[in-house]
Amino acid sequence: MAFLADALSRVKPSATIAVSQKARELKAQGRDVIGLGAGEPDFDTPDNIKQAAIEAINRGETKYTPVSGIQPLREAIAAKFKRENNLDYDWKQTIVGTGGKQILFNAFMATLNEGDEVVIPTPYWVSYPEMVAICNGKSVFVETSIENGFKLTAEALEKAITPKTKWVLMNSPSNPSGAAYTKDELTAIADVVLKHPDVWVLTDDMYEHLTYGDFKFHTIAEVEPKLIDRTLTMNGVSKAYAMTGWRIGYAGGPIELIKAMDMIQGQQTSGASSIAQWAAVEALNGPQDFIQKNKEIFQGRRDLVVSMLNQATGIECPVPEGAFYVYPSCAGCIGKTAPSGKKIESDEDFVTELLEAEGVAVVHGSAFGLGPNFRISYATSEKALEEACSRIQRFTASLR
């Protein structure tokens, strides 16, 4: 009898974590490596948020919290949804988890039976299909393309829905592509979902505040209020507030689903860190002006990276609407030979040879379900990005 669970055979390790780990190992060996794999802002957590955590410690807020989170944070989440998204969630319709991953995992665990289907557009964040697999569900991938901006269309969604479909998973702005859906695009998708009363929408809005230029963010239950009773709206403080290590994600949704997720979390981790929760109260209720300043820095980095990558032989890099990633195609490099003598037959070969030849660590697109592409996180200094892009230009020029 096998000791380990069958579920493990369905799950792959995180490619983004693996790339970051590989970059760390090479640096430890003395290699000059620029790591562009991590989805983590390089800004520090704002001082007012850190101060709120210190004050919470000094007040003795160091005990267990309710499973779904402290009431002041859940009230702040409900207020945020109303203020920024025009969504009317009572605070009891919210839940706090240890990062966005736990929110997603609990939602799948609470709803998926064996064979239930989750529609996931590609490219997707690496953890989505693995979570679905662990929870005995089946991922139904809908391929997007560089030509349609890496976005799910209403027509493609309609074809993907079957009697077994339980969720449609949306992520806007997207990790890994940075693509973000307009109000009209979301309306078209909502119209399809409305035709299928048993299909729910799980929307991952983690990068909500990181959109650029004139782009205006919308979330699907805001665009189509009829869907609010079958939508889970997930968000968190990690990206916009530079609070990745604090591990706070949250969601709003129908009370029956929130109660089911609370029950699972109660047997799993219980409440998130009390100190991190009080810091998140300040994040959501406190000054928001730094977000715009950070956005402007990110936009400058995006424009630099897109410009330099489009000057690299064989690379095509579209301009993303949001997040802090670009998702260029390396199709023009496939079939060529690297300086090492290895023929590049896939995007995984491309990123492996790039790391070996030039010390630039990026993530191959096939890990996100769509290639031949690669993902670059531009959440690092302009100097590092400029040097990395120069190395990529040099690498692609060396291919024969």
Closest CA to 196 of 242, 227, 224: 227
Residue position matching structure tokens 């715009």: 292
- Same domain, yes or no, for 98 and 27? no
Residue position matching structure tokens 């009697």: 163
Instruction: State how far the alpha carbon of 378 is from the alpha carbons of 44, 171, 318, 327, 388, in Å.
Output: 16, 19, 14, 11, 10
Residue 32 lies in a domain: yes
Residue 260 lies in a domain: yes
The residues near 166 (Cβ < 8 Å, ≥ 6 apart) are: 111, 112, 116, 117, 118, 137, 198, 199, 200
Q: Which of 285, 309, 340 is the last residue of a domain?
A: 285
DSSP letter (8 states) at residue 9: G
Residue position matching structure tokens 């290699």: 31
The residues near 145 (Cβ < 8 Å, ≥ 6 apart) are: none
CATH number of the domain bearing residue 353 = 3.90.1150.10
Q: What is the pTM of this model?
A: 0.95
Residue 1 lies in a domain: no
- Same domain, yes or no, for 146 and 278? yes
pLDDT on residue 188: 98
Q: Which of 247, 262, 285 is the last residue of a domain?
A: 285
pLDDT on residue 6: 86
Phi then psi for 227, rounded to 5 degrees? -90, 0
- Print pLDDT tens along the chain (400 aa): 889 988 888 888 877 777 778 788 888 898 899 999 888 999 999 999 999 999 999 999 999 999 999 999 999 999 999 999 999 999 999 999 999 999 999 999 999 999 999 999 999 999 999 999 999 999 999 999 999 999 999 999 999 999 999 999 999 999 999 999 999 999 999 999 999 999 999 999 999 999 999 999 999 999 999 999 999 999 999 999 999 999 999 999 999 999 999 999 999 999 999 999 999 999 999 999 999 999 999 999 999 999 999 999 999 999 999 999 999 999 999 999 999 999 999 999 999 999 989 999 999 999 999 999 999 999 999 999 999 999 999 999 999 9
CATH number of the domain bearing residue 84 = 3.40.640.10
- Same domain, yes or no, for 280 and 297? no
Domain tally, the chain:
2
Read out DSSP for 103-155?
HHHHHHHHH--TT-EEEEEES--THHHHHHHHTT-EEEEEE--TTTTT---HH
Residue 52 lies in a domain: no
The residues near 138 (Cβ < 8 Å, ≥ 6 apart) are: 115, 116, 117, 118, 132, 164
Domain that holds residue 260: 63-285
User: Do strands 138-143 and 117-122 pair parallel, antiparallel, or not at all (unpaired)?
Assistant: parallel
Residue 36, SS3 per DSSP: coil
The number of CA neighbours under 13 Å toward the Cβ of 390 is 7
Contact call for residues 232 and 246 (beta carbons, < 8 A)? no
User: Residue by residue, what is the 3-state secondary structure of 302-360?
Assistant: HHHHHHHHCCCCCCECCCCCECCEECCECHHHCCCECCCCCECCCHHHHHHHHHHHHCE
- Same domain, yes or no, for 95 and 235? yes
- Same domain, yes or no, for 214 and 86? yes
| Distance (Å, whole) CA 151 – CA 81 | 24
- Same domain, yes or no, for 239 and 319? no
pLDDT on residue 178: 98
Q: Which of 235, 265, 285 is the last residue of a domain?
A: 285
- Same domain, yes or no, for 251 and 348? no
| Distance (Å, whole) CA 200 – CA 384 | 42
Contact call for residues 180 and 217 (beta carbons, < 8 A)? yes
DSSP letter (8 states) at residue 245: G
- Same domain, yes or no, for 231 and 350? no
pLDDT on residue 27: 84
| Distance (Å, whole) CA 300 – CA 41 | 14
- Same domain, yes or no, for 320 and 192? no
Residue 55 lies in a domain: no
b or e along 238-262 (b: 16 or more beta carbons within 10 Å of the residue's beta carbon)?
A: bbbbbbbebbbbbbbbbeebbebbb
The residues near 49 (Cβ < 8 Å, ≥ 6 apart) are: 241, 243, 279, 282, 283, 286
Contact call for residues 83 and 288 (beta carbons, < 8 A)? no
| Distance (Å, whole) CA 117 – CA 132 | 9
